[in-house]
């Protein structure tokens, strides 16, 4: 956790950086990880399975970096540690689906043998691909359970790729053994998420044009 705080503080100091955060799952890459959503005040009857919602582990700055708006409550913070009570953030889709217009912040959800408090509600995103409907997602705090590997999300005021050399140098100064596997623009990730759809549409258009040409030849 201390190492990650140092990384965040150092990257925030780079020129043009507006926000930095981490998450376990890269959006728009087809990921469909899920977890049961079980309200502590309305437990699922014995023998039934709680409905699944999307799963994501994220840090405090993830939502700001991706422009995901905070609708109620708060985001994760440095005060959420392994020694503090477990907290989660839910998406707007979960609030609308499971709370019937009632406040969700302050309610508790069951997680295995324990519970966690809902501290915030954020906007829903298309996590699987741009062709999906917005997901019902539940976010877990990476501040409370830091991972060895992470997806680092950085929002900049200028050209993001111009920051890459300074970013790599900064990370090597912090830890020479740190490996940056890949640097990508989220615009490119979004474009890749609809490549299959575009290919199918192109093929359909080609087949339609071919059929039209054959019909025209036949009529002639």
**What is the predicted pLDDT for the residue at 200?**
72
* pLDDT surpassing 80 at residue 159: yes
Q: Specify whether the CB–CB gap between 89 and 139 falls below 8 A.
A: yes
pTM of the model: 0.83
For residue 107, report the phi and psi dihedrals to the nearest 5 degrees. Answer: -75, 165
pLDDT in tens, 68-118: 999 999 999 989 998 999 999 999 999 999 999 899 999 999 998 899 999
On whether the CB atoms of residues 197 and 131 are closer than 8 A, the answer is yes
Asked if 19 and 155 touch (Cβ cutoff 8 Å), the reply is: yes
SS3 at position 206: helix
Q: CA 171 to CA 107: how far, in whole Å? A: 39
Calculate the alpha carbon distances from 190 to 1, 16, 30, 59, 208 in Å.
Answer: 30, 23, 11, 21, 28
Mean residue pLDDT across the chain: 89
**For 133-157, what is each residue's pLDDT tens digit?**
888 999 999 989 877 778 999 999 9
At 112 the pLDDT is 85
Between CA 98 and CA 205 the distance in angstroms is 42
């Amino acid at each position: 956790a201390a190492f990650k705080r140092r990384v965040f503080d150092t990257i925030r100091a780079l020129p043009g950086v507006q926000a930095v955060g981490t998450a376990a799952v890269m959006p728009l890459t087809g990921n469909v990880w899920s977890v049961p959503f079980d309200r502590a005040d309305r437990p699922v009857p014995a023998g039934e399975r709680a409905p699944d919602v999307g799963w994501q582990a994220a840090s405090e700055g993830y939502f700001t970096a991706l422009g995901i708006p905070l609708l109620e409550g708060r985001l994760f913070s440095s005060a959420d540690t392994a020694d503090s009570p477990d907290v989660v953030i839910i998406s707007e889709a979960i609030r609308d689906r499971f709370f019937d217009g009632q406040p969700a912040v302050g309610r508790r959800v069951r997680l295995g043998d324990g519970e966690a408090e809902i501290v915030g509600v954020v906007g829903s995103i298309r996590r699987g691909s741009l062709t999906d409907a917005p997901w019902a997602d539940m976010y877990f705090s990476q501040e409370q359970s830091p991972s060895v590997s992470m997806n680092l999300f950085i929002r900049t005021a200028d050209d993001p790729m111009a920051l890459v050399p300074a970013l790599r140098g900064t990370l090597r100064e912090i830890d020479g053994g740190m490996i940056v596997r890949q640097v990508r623009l989220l615009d490119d990730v979004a474009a890749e998420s609809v490549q299959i759809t575009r290919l199918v549409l192109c093929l359909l258009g080609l087949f339609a044009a071919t059929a039209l040409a054959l019909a025209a030849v036949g009529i002639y």
